[in-house]
Amino acid sequence: MLPGAGTRPPLSVAAHLTVRGPRSVTVDTPIGLLSVVTTDRGVVATLFDDEDAAAELERLERRLGAGVRGAPRELVRLRREVDAYFAGRGRSFATAIDLRLAGRGFERRVLEVTTRIPFGELWTYGDVAEAAGSSRAGRAAGNALGRCPIELFVPCHRVVHADGSIGGYGRHEERKRWLLRHEGRA
């Protein structure tokens, strides 16, 4: 017997075979190709084609501890949700989100609060910070939103500065402007 053998219950082969790894689907949108990565819990990341997709995907796979495989047939419903949003027929997403790659504590609360901002409504960074439990942490809320791995599904684009300016949006201000115009808020 090997050292340490028998100290843990054996892994069921059937259980191992039913675990599905991260999957992705790429959707052509008016603002570029959008790759949506999901786990069994929900959408875990989004990547637009203006980002270094190969490097981002590699980083994502390291963080998830598994390779991401394309699964356009499995994710047809998700693709339809994204298509409906960009066609003006959808205002929210039914697909769950998986915040495992988001920060903890305040950062995670910021993202959770942001998911509740309705289509077409704007909040300030201060509004989000207050709703997340720290009314004086608007800048920290902005930093948390800037690191959000799930663009669109966590509608960071609906959060602006108190003076109405749009903020940095991860160096993708034009994308944020487009999304705000799409939702009738620009």
List the domain boundaries for the chain.
Answer: 21-86, 102-182
Hey, what CATH topology would domain 21-86 get?
A: Double Stranded RNA Binding Domain (3.30.160)
pLDDT the model gives residue 108 = 96
Out of 3.40.50.720, 3.30.470.20, 1.10.1060.10, 1.10.10.10, which CATH number does the structure's domain 102-182 have?
1.10.10.10
Burial of 158 (0-12, 13-18, 19+ CB in 10 A): buried
Q: Which of 64, 102, 156, 180 is catalytic?
A: 156
Whole-number pLDDT of residue 186: 61
**What is the reported pLDDT for 18?**
37
Per-residue model confidence (pLDDT) at position 49: 87
How far CA 178 is from CA of 45, 168, 181, in Å, comes to 20, 14, 5
Q: Is 148 a catalytic residue?
A: no
Tell me the average confidence (pLDDT) per consecutive run of 10 residues in the chain, 186 residues long: 40 40 94 94 92 84 92 93 96 94 93 96 97 96 93 95 86 90 86
Query: What are the structure tokens assigned to 46, written together?
Result: 């989004």
- Name the token pair of 52: 């270094």
